Amino acid sequence: MSILHFILLLLVAGLCGSLGQVIAGFSRGGWLASIALGFIGALVGTWLARLAKLPDLFTLDIDGKPFPVIWSIVGSALFVAVLGLLWRQGRRVA
């Protein structure tokens, strides 16, 4: 994988993570957190899609490696929503 493809993969993951944060309505961190959320969302979303036997809806092929854009957004939104609930509960107790 070349540097250009790696940067493109980071950019796509960051956009997916940012959209997941917007959908969930909870945002902590900057662009590095968005990139991490994009990759975590891709793992969580793809796992949930396979459990529900759903097809890959929109997948980008970056240097021969598929990146599930829709499932990354869905997975990151769910992950951020759970984190937001846990974070807000912890602050209420304190």
Domains: count for the chain = 1
> Which pLDDT value is given to residue 44?
93
Domain of residue 74, residue span: 3-93
Output the pTM of the full model. 0.84
- Let me know if 70 is exposed, middle or buried by CB neighbors in 10 A (0-12, 13-18, 19+): middle
Whole-number Å distance between alpha carbons of 45 and 68: 8
pLDDT, tens digit, 9 for 90 and up, residues 27-72: 777 889 899 999 999 999 999 999 999 988 888 898 888 889 999 9
Instruction: Write down the pLDDT at residue 43.
Output: 93
Which of the pair, 24 or 92, is modelled with greater confidence? Answer: 24
- pLDDT given at position 89: 62
Nearest-Å Rg of the Cα atoms of the chain is 14
Q: How buried is 58 (Cβ within 10 angstroms: 0-12 exposed, 13-18 middle, 19+ buried)? A: exposed
